[in-house]
Each structure stands twice: as structure tokens, then as C-alpha cells.
Structure 1
Amino acid sequence: MKQREKKELDTSVQGIIIREMISHVTSEHMIGQKIKNGELRKKLVEPVWNVPDGFLLTEIKMEQFEMEWLEPESCTSDRVLLQLHGGGYVGAMRNAYRNFAVVYSELGHGMPVLSIDYRVAPENPYPAALEDAVCAYRWLLQKGYSGSQILVAGDSAGGGLVMALTMYLRDHHEELPAGLIAMSPWTDLTSSGESYQTNFEKDPLFGKTKDSLIYNREYVGLEDPKNPYISPLFGDFTDFPPMLIQVGSYEMLLSDSVEVAKKAKSQGVKVRLHVYEGMFHVFQMAMKLMPESRQAWKEAGRFISLFKDET
């Protein structure tokens, strides 16, 4: 049996079906291209999110952005998770990330989650998103949390921002978070990784075009895309906390995860890299619909459980 055929057998039937459905939708000329380049997302109007039973949601207005504090009605955990959403630095907060917050809270046995709707490009290019992430992290410290009680998680652009935030905190001698979770992180805005070529035809969300979010330079603006606070791959990971990185093998951004994990490990960081065979960008959004997304969230739960409550 050919190696590729054997690997495909490692992908669930549900995973293959969902991947092919995404590929079918994004291959449609008009709608598909708007999905790939983020235009549809920027225009998307979502219904009001219904807060699940047993949770409380508090909206927090900062000077230049907004945050949402989600916590169980009976909150017993002394840990907290800071969530940085994806969207190519051009997409704002979505209901999907509010659902992520619920899962993170449950995995943390009642841990509150702070999700920030940071400023995005083109109106607000770098360093706006990083500034807002730093502001939110410092807000948690001012609220009484220590770095050892804070986990930071993000997907796609948010996954890269998780690392940029940690680099910034370390470089400015501030308390670092206890651990990082990065799902399909965008860590190389130069698009120089091998998988940008090898997965160009395979990636169902970004493939077969360069008019897509991962080639968008609106966030970079006039800055050097190799700036580590923009592309963490080109930075130093010394003294970083443990990281869990999840990525799909079909992603054009596969190299962004693989190369960061390799570099961080060489600099003494504890890194768990899991490449999910046959999976696409941020496949965790499928939640319970396929074995791979269920496994990914269980893995995230095991990682979170490593950081015990202090009480």
C-alpha cells in the first residue's frame, strides 16, 4: 500500500467528508474566493450568541477594544484562560470563539475565560493586535492573577499572537503565562515554509490561490514581516512556558507549526506538537462532529490539567 493511501486510512470518514465539503464550497468561484480571502467573514452578521445555561457573560469595554469574561455561575478555579481568536488579523470576534470559550472553561473544570475582540486590519495594522493582547494580559494581572495561573490559547492568527505576546512579555521582563495552546498557528507571514508549496493543491480552505488570508499583508503594513512580534517563527523561544501545538497535515500553514516546534525544542522549551492526519485549518471548530476534533479537544484538556489549581 502506498504511504499516502495508508495515511488517508488514518483519517476518519467524518473527517474526510467534512474536508471535502469545505473544499467543494471554497471551490465555487464567487463564494469560495470570498471565504478564502476573508471578505465574506468581514461582512458576516451573526445572530446574538445565547449564553449556555450555567454560565455568566460579562462584556468589558477597554479604551480601544472590547473583551468578554465568561465564567460558570459557580466558579471554583483559581486559573484563567486568555483566548486570542483567529481571522487573519482582519476578522473580528465570532460566535465560534465564544463556543471555544465554553469548551475551554469546561476543560478547565470551571475556569473563567477572557476573550478579547482585538483591533484588526486594515484599519488597525500591527502593532494594534499585539498591544490589545498585552493590555488584556496586564488586566488579568491587575485583577489579581499571577502569570502561573494564566493559560493563553489561540487559533490561526490568534495562535501566532499567543507566541508574539509571550515574546513581548519576556522581552519586557514581565510575568509569563503558565502554558500556551496554539491551534493551526500562523507564525510565518512571509509564507516561506515548505508546506505553502507542497499543500497548495491540498488545503481545502486556502489552497489553489494566493488571494487568501494567509497571503494578506494588511496587518503587516510597512513593517518587516520577519519581525518576531509579527512572525514568531523568526524569534527566540528561550524561557517560553510549555506549548501544545495542533495542526492538520493538509494545511498550507503546516510548516508554521512544525518549524516553530522544532526551533522552540532546540531552545529548551517543552513542546507537544500533534499533526492530525488529513485535517484542515482549525479543524477543532468541528467540535464533536468528527473523531479528530474530539481528540484534539481531549488533548487540550489533558494539557490544561497539567496546571493545577493552587487552592
Structure 2
Amino acid sequence: MSTPKPTDLLGEMYAEWINEMTRYPDMSIGLLRIVFEDWQRATAEPEDVTYANTEIGGVPGILVTPTGSDPAQMLIVMHGGGFALGSAATHRKLAGHIAKACGAVAFVVDFRRAPEFKYPAQIEDGLAVYSALLDRGVLPENVTLVGDSAGGNLAISMAMRARRLGLPTPGRVITLSPWLNMENNGATLESNNDTDFLIAPEGLQGNIDRYIEGVTEPTNPDVNPLYADFAGFPRLYICAADTESLFDDAVRLRQLASDAGVDVTFSIGEGMQHVYPFQAGNLARADEEIRLIGEWYHAVR
């Protein structure tokens, strides 16, 4: 059987990245970060959105403001990249599309990255932003935590830790292709290996080590939400591609949340790539997902 070929821009980009990382297996973390800055190329610039480099709660990031958005409705966006790669810059356009669909303002957090800063620095930075928004008078029910891939892990962990710290629970959590399994043994890691052009167990393990090695165990619910108690968790939106290697994480998350009585919505991108909404403005299925997120956000519960 022949190996599948990329059918969209994101798949082509991922294949290019993997080719370069295979050619240069000793690539430094600095060069890897430069490679991943290319992520933003997949996303079209959303119209009528402005950006400002600023900080909230002492944490730097990019404030994303669509024209006519409600400043009382805030999205805290935790970017993906294995806790070590990616940035507010790579995700600002994606955040712009999501914020427009929700009629909200987004803050894309430039949290401290591994391996220079291991767990729990990333979660602490996200919660510093959340606490600062609450101090400014933003209502917790009007705050939505958003995260893709490793950022989805962080968004979930932020909501869990906020509750433990006695902070109000945010209103919603949105996860795009969440990466949750720090034991690196998800069922689709092998079965979807040929159809996922980015994710491989070896790469995942490298990022796991950067994030938690020597600090905590991969079964700690704070880093592996598949071991967490979802009772009382906010409304949850999950989207993932059925052909991506981390699809099992999303399936298990939906089941755990549903079993705990959480209001959970699960959207599946058939034949798509990891974090396929990145292609917003360039791919119809990505635009559809952004629309679905907006409709879910505005649904009365």
C-alpha cells in the first residue's frame, strides 16, 4: 500500500518540517522554534482585526481585537507546539478568526516555554492572565480558555487548577486537537501514523521530556488530563481530525467529560490534519469549524 500524500497546505507544511527535522536530527531547540514560526503561513489574515503586543498580569502576549467585538467577552489562547515551540505570533491569525466568530477579544499568551521553563510555569502564566482579567472586572463566565494541541492540555489544566486555588470557574473551554496523553501510548499513535504528517511518538516523547522530566510524573492529572476529575468542568468544545495520531486523546477526553456530566461538544474533521482550523480562510473545512465554534459559543445553555 502506498503512503498517503498531503492533500492540503497544512499537510504539505508538516511534511516539509518533518523532512527537514529528519535531515538534521540534531537541530537545536532554537532552530526548531524558527521552523515552527512557519505555522502561521497556513492561516489567512482575518479581516477587520487589530493586534497589539502587550501584557496582562505581567505575562506578554498579543491582544487580538476584531472590529465590533465585546471587550467583556475574553478568550485566553494557549498556543500549541509541544510546550516548547510555537508562540503568540504563530497563533495570532487563528485567534483572530476564532475571536471574530465569537464576537470576543482574545489574548494569545506568550507563556514561558520548555525546556528552559518546565511544568508548571506554563499553567502559572495562563492563570496569571486569568486572575488579572478577573481583577479588571471581567466576569469568569465571560472568559473562555482556548488551546490547540499542547495548548489544549494547558487550557484544561488551567481550569482544573483554578478550581483548586479557589478561583471562579471560567465559562468555557475550547480545545483543538488536544494533546493530553503524557504516557505517549494513545491508540491512534500507531493506527494513524501514515495519515498524520506531523505527529510521531518520538517527537512527542522529546516534548514530554522537555516539559516534565525530573519534575513530575506523566500520570499527574495536572499534566495529563486523562487522569483528571472532570466533575464541575465548564462547557467544553473539542475538535480533532479522525486521521491524526492524537485523535484517541480527543475521544477519551469526550468520554471522560461526558461521564462526569459536562456539557461537551465533539466535532470531527474527517481526513484533516492536526489542528486543521489553522487553515482558516484557506480551507472550507477549517472555515466551517470556526463557524461551528462561534455557534457553540453563542448557544444559550
Short-chain TM bin? 0.7 to 0.9
1:136-147 matched pairs, under 5 angstroms? 136-147=129-140
Of 24-33 and 145-154, the range deviating more from structure 2: 24-33
Give, as a single letter, the amino acid of the residue that structure 2 aligns with 1:278.
G
1:97-150 superposed Cα distances (whole Å, 9 cap, x missing partner): 1112211221122x2111110001110000110111111110110111121111
Deviation at 1:72, TM superposition (A): 4.2
1:183-202 superposed Cα distances (whole Å, 9 cap, x missing partner): 00111111122111211232
Give, as a single letter, the amino acid of the residue that structure 1 aligns with 2:107.
L
Counterpart pick for 1:171 among 164, 170, 175: 164
Give, as a single letter, the amino acid of the residue that structure 2 aligns with 1:57.
A
Unaligned runs of 5+ in 1: 1-7
Residue of structure 2 in register with 1:113 after alignment: 106
Residue of structure 2 in register with 1:218 after alignment: 210
User: Could you state the TM-score of these two structures normalised by the residue count of structure 1?
Assistant: 0.83
* Correspondence 1:95 to 2:89: yes
Deviation at 1:42, TM superposition (A): 1.4
Residue of structure 2 in register with 1:5 after alignment: none
Structure 1 residues 288 and 72: CA distance shift in structure 2, 3 A: closer
User: Could you state the TM-score of these two structures normalised by the residue count of structure 2?
Assistant: 0.85
Unaligned runs of 5+ in 2: none
| RMSD (Å) for aligned C-alpha atoms | 3.1
1:144-293 matched pairs, under 5 angstroms? 144-207=137-200, 210-213=201-204, 215-216=206-207, 217-222=209-214, 223-293=216-286
Structure 1 residues 143 and 245: CA distance shift in structure 2, 3 A: same
Residue of structure 2 in register with 1:3 after alignment: none
Structure 1 Cα separation of the partners of residues 14 and 292 of structure 2:
26
* Correspondence 1:294 to 2:287: yes
Deviation at 1:95, TM superposition (A): 2.7
* Correspondence 1:28 to 2:19: yes
Deviation at 1:90, TM superposition (A): 0.3
Q: Any conservation in 1 of the 2:36–2:85 contact (CA below 8 Å)?
A: no
Structure 1 Cα separation of the partners of residues 28 and 248 of structure 2:
20
Q: Any conservation in 2 of the 1:25–1:32 contact (CA below 8 Å)?
A: no
Task: Flag the structure with larger Rg.
Answer: 1
Give, as a single letter, the amino acid of the residue that structure 1 aligns with 2:219.
K
Instruction: Kindly tell me the number of residue pairs found equivalent between the two proteins.
Output: 292
Structure 2 Cα separation of the partners of residues 206 and 37 of structure 1:
18
Structure 1 Cα separation of the partners of residues 275 and 235 of structure 2:
20
SS in 2 for 1:211: helix
* Correspondence 1:86 to 2:68: no
Structure 1 residues 54 and 28: CA distance shift in structure 2, 3 A: closer
Of 211-220 and 149-158, the range deviating more from structure 2: 211-220
Structure 1 residues 199 and 57: CA distance shift in structure 2, 3 A: same
Structure 1 residues 265 and 58: CA distance shift in structure 2, 3 A: same
Deviation at 1:306, TM superposition (A): 2.2
Deviation at 1:220, TM superposition (A): 0.9
Residue of structure 2 in register with 1:67 after alignment: 61
